[in-house]
Amino acid sequence: MSADLLNSADLRKAVQGSDVVYVTVGFPYKLKVWQDCWPKFIRDVISACKEFNSKLVFFDNIYMYDPDFLNGMTEETPINPASEKGKIRAQIAKLILDEVKAK
């Protein structure tokens, strides 16, 4: 289906009826776009997944991790973004992980 993923109603329609939601979307590679789009999108997709009892699978990049620890990454690799885009990725990862912790 075609959807504007920054439109909450469209996003809800895209998620509705899904057992698993795979987030592989990318936004234009511009800082301002990432600042505006990623947090809103993640909040909306989390909300839709909760509403429709869908599991969320998010394919992320490594921007939020400390560059000195990228060789041999594990779940314990420190989050220490070296860029503004990395800070955004850390912010949205926190939104997701906070929801996981809250069940």
Domain count along the chain:
1
In a domain, 3, yes or no: no
CB neighbour list of residue 88: distance below 8 Å, 6 or more residues apart: 34, 35, 38, 39
Q: Is there a domain that residue 73 lies in? A: yes
Per residue in 29-87, pLDDT (tens digit) is 999 999 999 999 999 999 999 999 999 999 989 999 999 999 989 989 999 999 999 99
CA–CA dist 69, 55 (Å, integer): 29
Residues 6+ apart with CB under 8 A from 19: 54, 55
Domain that holds residue 39: 8-101
pLDDT by residue (tens digit) across 6-34? 999 999 999 999 999 999 999 999 999 99
Q: What is the pTM of this model?
A: 0.89
What's the CATH code of the domain at 22? 3.40.50.720
Task: Establish if 2 belongs to a structural domain.
Answer: no
**C-beta separation of 34 from 85 below 8 A:** yes
Q: Tell me, yes or no, whether 1 lies in a domain.
A: no
Alpha-carbon span 65 to 86, nearest angstrom:
8
**Is 85 among the domain residues?**
yes
